[in-house]
Amino acid sequence: MNRKILVTAAVLGIIAIGLGAFGAHGLKKILDPEMLVTFETGVRYQMYHALFLLFVGTTPLISDKAKKIIFTLVVIGVLFFSVSIYFLACNGLFSFDSKKIGIITPIGGLLLIGAWGTLLLNLMKRKG
C-alpha cells in the first residue's frame, strides 16, 4: 500500500508542476487574471495533497487501514476539487459549459477535509 501511495503522490506532484507551468505560461494570455488565480488554486491544492500523500506513505504513525482511507479520500478529493477547478477556470475554452460540474468542487473539498480528519483521529488514538 505504501508504494501505491508514494507513486500516486509522485504522479500528482508531476501533474501539478506541469499544470502550474502551463497555467503560468500557456494560460496567462488566454484567461483573465481572476480565472488564472482560480486555476492556480487547483494546482496548489493538488500539490499540497501530493505532499500529504508522501507523508502518509512514509509514516509509521498511522495504521494501514487509515492509510487506505486517507489515500482514497485524497485521490477522489483531488479529482473532484482540483480537476473541477481546472475546468471551471478554463470554462470559456471548451465547447461545453463546465459550470455544470462545479457541484462536485465542494464535495471534493469535503473529501480532502475528511482525509486530514482521518489522519488527526488516527494520531489521537495512538498511544505514546
Give pLDDT, residue 96. 76
Question: What's the pLDDT band for 79 if we cut at 50, 70, 90?
Answer: very high
Give pLDDT, residue 126. 86
Question: What's the pLDDT band for 9 if we cut at 50, 70, 90?
Answer: very high
Over residues 53-69, the mean pLDDT reads 96
Domain boundaries, position 49: 2-125
Give pLDDT, residue 29. 86
Over 90: is that where the pLDDT of 14 sits? yes
User: What is the distance between the alpha carbons of residues 32 and 77, in angstroms, rounded to a whole number?
Assistant: 26
Over residues 61-79, the mean pLDDT reads 97
Decide if 12 contacts 50 (C-beta within 8 A).
yes
User: What is the distance between the alpha carbons of residues 99 and 63, in angstroms, rounded to a whole number?
Assistant: 38
Does pTM surpass 0.75? Answer: yes
Compare 18 and 96 and report the one with higher pLDDT.
18
Q: What is the mean pLDDT of the chain?
A: 93
What is the tens place of the pLDDT at every residue in 82-111?
999 999 988 877 777 777 888 999 999 999
The total number of structural domains that make up the chain: 1
CA distances from 81 to 38, 89, 93, 103 (A): 12, 12, 19, 10
Give pLDDT, residue 128. 67
